[in-house]
Chain A
Amino acid sequence: MIDARLTILENLRIAPNVNILRYEAPKEYKNIRAGQFVEIKSWGLHFPFLRRPMSVFEYEEKYFSVMIKIAGEGTRQMYEAKAGDKHFVLGPLGKPFNTDEGEEFSVLLGAGVGAAPMLLLEKELKKKTKSFQTFLAAQTKNELVSDFFTESIISTDDGSAGFHGNILQCFEANRKNFQKKKIKIYACGPLAFLKAAQEYALKNKIHCELSLETTMGCGFGICMGCAVEASDKKIYDSEFKGMYLACLDGPCIDARKIKL
């Protein structure tokens, strides 16, 4: 991982509140994995103060990108950034998705900005000749980034495109298509969605890996601010007790290991 001042090559406005920022890619990003993130700062020491963690969306040799949905002052400033601006970017960070777990079929659930790690994940699964289906969801049609994906099943909360309902309902509606396969779910999105995905996976005994959504301080393990509780022993019998750190033990982590 390195910290570098990187130039913005392009700011693609997807919606009035969603954009893709493409940065020049340092050579150190060559082996970046799906599910890893970067910590970005483009402001002074007033407010915002800390960096913001963003999953990496695209990686090509010359650039990588992050996906932003405006949620506050930091993301608002990142939405308004211009090509040519330079941002401090620390990365790649975190534990990526584990694509070596022997499932027959992968289900990618990218809710809202949770779509971010799914593009690289598709790439990795394709390389390993693993079959998969990507589901993408947004509140409304214009926030979808499905154009970046070759074939995704989409859903919108307001029904403006695709399935009318949330991503899990959409998955349930399509479930019959992968009935007899040993499935693994990869889930990324807002905390409420992660909780629902975790509950769904545990209830249906489906293996599931989550990309955690937490407040982060440093993003690389020195502040211990991004703690996530380990689950009760009756859910997952591991020796580990206490707190995981989302930036070191995650963000990608087995859904059974944690209490959300």
Chain B
Amino acid sequence: MNEIKNIGVDLGRGLKPKNRVLVASGTFAYGKEASPLLDLKKLGGIVTKAISKEPRFGNKPERIVEVTGGLLNAIGLQNVGMKKFVLEKLPFLRETGASIIVNVVGWKIQDFVDVVKFLNDYKGIDGYEINLSCPNVEELGATFCDDSRTVKKITSALRKTTKRHLMIKLSPNTNRISNEAKIAEGEGADSLSVINTVVAMAVNVWNRKPKIKNITGGLSGPAIKPIALAKVYECYKAVKIPIVGIGGMMNTQDVFEFFLAGAQAVQIGTANFIYPDISEKIADEIPEFAGKLKVEDLKKYIGSLQT
């Protein structure tokens, strides 16, 4: 069997994961937790839990609820904060052999800038994923995150703040994701990750209460795969910068669906909760699956959806 070409990918500005499989922010904590259960070296990249300027406790319970084909979460962006992150978490991440992308979250534009500026001084970070879509935090509200003007302002401010790879994570909870995609590209984003979770709800008919404390949460898992595919495709047609697909992938075939729709790379998320080594397995299986599709060059398969 011939070697499959372009297993790895150059996403631009120094972010070159060894393969196209990353793990999604919020689904892998800081890497160490899952390390006994899979070989992190086999992953293309790890996207960290969202890091904010100050540490955050996160939301009170209940934070999660299982739904058909997925999971609703309102964790509330619990994280150790940027200072503790570089002291306690980054050293381990550096040694994993995977590309490290730090997800950054803030409440004002200045927060984002402050975090990125702070992290710029530390080695071992191959890029930043900017969390502009956060359905689970009360203070943020929909208007801030989903506003095209905010995408413009934050991307522009961050482009001036760092020479590192900037991946803008887009929300599906907007009217037209391709609008935000084009704006981010215009302001200098290097790539887009598509999509964050879908605003959703679960209720208990007996006690008449929402099943999670935050009332609404973000839906993830197989239930959102069709939504994510549509959004990836929409963005792929709208911009030239690479799209990193996220949304409900549970196996290698799912991943190829996202390749077909135009994703250069993918992030596996909720699947990690159920099958801790799934991301490693998928990375391993890609060459064989490509062979089954009679694909010799992954680059040529990406975006080759025939319409």
Contact = CB atoms under 8 A, between A and B. Distances in A.
A224 B29 contact: yes
Contacts of B65: 215
Given A50-B66, A218-B273, A224 B61 contact: no
B58 A227 contact: yes
Interface string B168-181: 00000000000000
Contacts of B250: 45
Interface stretch (B10-18, B31-39, B185-193): B31-39
Contact of A50 (B29, B34, B71): B71
Contacts of B58: 224, 227, 242-243
Interface size class of A (residues with CB under 8 A): 20 to 34
Contact of A46 (B57, B68, B75): B68
A214 interface: yes
Interface residues of B, number: 37
A248 B274 CA distance: 17
Given A222-B27, A229-B60, A49 B37 contact: no
A243 B78 contact: yes
Contacts of A45: 69, 221-222, 250, 274
Interface in A117-147: none
A221 interface: yes
B59 interface: yes
Interface residues of B: mostly helix, strand, loop or mixed? loop
B28 interface: yes
A235 B68 CA distance: 40
B276 A243 contact: no
Contacts of A243: 57-58, 60, 78
Interface in B30-89: 33-34, 36-37, 49, 55, 57-71, 73, 75, 78
B75 A220 contact: no
Nearest to B60: A229
B275 interface: yes
B270 to A, nearest CB: 9
Interface of A: 1-3, 41, 45-51, 88, 90, 214-215, 217-218, 220-229, 241-243, 248
Interface of B: 26-29, 33-34, 36-37, 49, 55, 57-71, 73, 75, 78, 221-222, 250, 272-277
7 contacts: A1-B36, A49-B66, A49-B71, A223-B26, A227-B61, A228-B61, A242-B57
